[in-house]
Amino acid sequence: MEGVGRVAAGELANAFCFIGAGGHHAGRNFFGGYCCFNDVVIAVRHARRAGRLRRVAILDTDAHHGDGTRDLVADDPEVLHVCICGSDYTSPDGTKVDRAAPDPWTLAGSPDRAYLDLAQETFPPRAERFSPDLAIWYFGFDGHRGDYGDNGLTAEAFLGLADMMMDVAGRVCGGKLIVVLGGGSLTTLATALIPPVIARLAGDSPSKPRSSGT
């Protein structure tokens, strides 16, 4: 809540938010998947009530569909919600979009490259047209190779997403970006992936990522 408010108000350039429980599987009347309350939607509505923002563009790259978030923003045309998960869907007004992540078991090339290409063609053009006040990246690393949502990804994909989100936020909303930690279960991956993602937020130049193991 506070991070979204302070970034929206321009008091912070951007923020990374750790979580104690997940949020994107929590809808108005339901919760599950180890999610309790929808932190992102609550924060957006709180900031709106304070007059700090109206339009928000959300990219969800947790391996599983953000069904709770979609339930809460389905009728809100001032939220662009793009989810890279397991199915394809586009709402009539184009503000709610799902794209199926590439299947690493049938790909001929790199899962990282295929995933980044899909993210690049799905989110930035829509965010540019949408012109949000703030961008939010729901960063789950469960799609990393060896974790429970294994999409065959490595650190290269997640750091590429971080670079993409910094770039698009810089172009469409003055760099106002919130990164909210999502799924992922392995300590080794959390330790390998989270600090370099935060380093991107802090302005470190993109470079070849170190191995995240597994």
Residues at the contact surface with other proteins, assessed by CB under 8 A: 1-3, 6-7, 10-22, 26, 28-31, 34, 36-38, 41-42, 45-46, 49, 72, 142, 148, 183-187, 190-191, 194-195, 198-199, 201-203
Q: Nearest approach, Cβ of 169 to other proteins (angstroms)?
A: 12
Helix axes 155-172, 187-201, angle to 10 degrees: 30
Q: Which is nearer to other proteins, 21 or 100 (CB)?
A: 21
163 close to 206: Cβ distance less than 8 angstroms: yes
Q: Nearest approach, Cβ of 178 to other proteins (angstroms)?
A: 9
Q: Extract the tokens encoding 1.
A: 């809540």
Q: Which is nearer to other proteins, 42 or 118 (CB)?
A: 42
First-residue to last-residue Cα distance in the chain: 33
Q: Which is nearer to other proteins, 26 or 82 (CB)?
A: 26
Q: Nearest approach, Cβ of 78 to other proteins (angstroms)?
A: 15
Q: Nearest approach, Cβ of 186 to other proteins (angstroms)?
A: 6
Q: Nearest approach, Cβ of 41 to other proteins (angstroms)?
A: 5
How many residues can be counted in the chain? Answer: 214
Q: Which is nearer to other proteins, 12 or 118 (CB)?
A: 12
Q: Which is nearer to other proteins, 118 or 199 (CB)?
A: 199
- Collapsing DSSP to helix, strand or coil, 93 comes out as coil
126 close to 97: Cβ distance less than 8 angstroms: yes
State the CB neighbour count (10 A cutoff) for residue 158: 29
Residues 118, 95, 48, 131, Cα dihedral to 10°? 70
Distance CA 175, CA 21 (A): 27
State the CB neighbour count (10 A cutoff) for residue 134: 25
Q: Which is nearer to other proteins, 157 or 201 (CB)?
A: 201
Q: Nearest approach, Cβ of 38 to other proteins (angstroms)?
A: 5
